[in-house]
Amino acid sequence: MTETLTREHTGVEIARVSGNIGAEIRGVNAAEDLPEAVVAELRQALLTHKVIFLRDQELDYDQLVTFGRRLGTLTLGHPIYGGPEGYPHLREMDSMGEGTRANYWHADFTYMENPPAFAILHNVVCPEVGGDTMWADTALAYRNLPEGLRTLADGLRVVHSNDSDFTDATYDGDVKDSYLKNVFSAEHPAVRVHPETGEKALMLGGFARRVVGYSPQAGRDVLRALTEYATVPEHTVRWRWRKGDLVIWDNQATLHYAIKDYTEHRRGERVTVAGPVTVGADGRPGYAIRGNTHEFGAGGTPTM
- Rounded CA separation 259/75 (Å): 25
Q: What are phi and psi of 185, to 5 degrees?
A: -150, 155
| Mean pLDDT within 215-222 | 97
What does 49-61 look like in DSSP terms, one character per residue? HSEEEE-S----H
Residue 18's contacts (CB-CB under 8 Å, 6 or more residues apart) are 236, 237, 238
- Rounded CA separation 272/115 (Å): 9
Which of residues 13 and 78 earns the better pLDDT score? 13
pLDDT at 303: 43
Q: Domain spanning 4-297 has what CATH number?
A: 3.60.130.10
pTM above 0.85, yes or no: yes
- Rounded CA separation 241/125 (Å): 10
Tens of pLDDT, residue by residue over 50-86, are: 999 999 999 999 999 999 999 999 999 988 888 889 9
- Rounded CA separation 291/241 (Å): 35
Q: What are phi and psi of 244, to 5 degrees?
A: 95, -5
pLDDT at 94: 85
- pLDDT-derived band at 8 (thresholds 50, 70, 90) equals low
Quick one: CA dihedral 134, 189, 179, 272, positive or negative?
A: positive
Please say whether the beta carbons of 50 and 21 come within 8 A. yes
Which of residues 67 and 167 earns the better pLDDT score? 67
Please say whether the beta carbons of 297 and 205 come within 8 A. no
Tens of pLDDT, residue by residue over 247-268, are: 999 999 999 999 999 989 989 9
pLDDT at 81: 83
Please say whether the beta carbons of 163 and 183 come within 8 A. yes
Q: Is the pLDDT of residue 269 over 50?
A: yes
* Range list of H helices, the chain: 36-49, 61-69, 138-144, 147-154, 165-170, 173-179, 216-230, 294-297
- Rounded CA separation 118/108 (Å): 9
Q: Please report how the helices 216-230 and 147-154 are oriented relative to each other, as an axis angle in degrees rounded to 10.
A: 120
| Mean pLDDT within 22-47 | 97
| Mean pLDDT within 149-166 | 92
Q: Is the pLDDT of residue 7 over 70?
A: no
| Mean pLDDT within 107-115 | 95
- Which of 194, 191, 203, 193 minimizes the C-alpha distance to 112? 203
Every domain of the chain and the residues it spans? 4-297
Q: Is the pLDDT of residue 171 over 80?
A: no
Which of residues 170 and 151 earns the better pLDDT score? 151
Q: Give strand pairing partners of 136.
A: 236, 255
pLDDT at 168: 66
- pLDDT-derived band at 34 (thresholds 50, 70, 90) equals very high
132: three-class secondary structure by DSSP: coil
Please say whether the beta carbons of 67 and 57 come within 8 A. no
pLDDT above 90: percentage of residues in the chain: 78
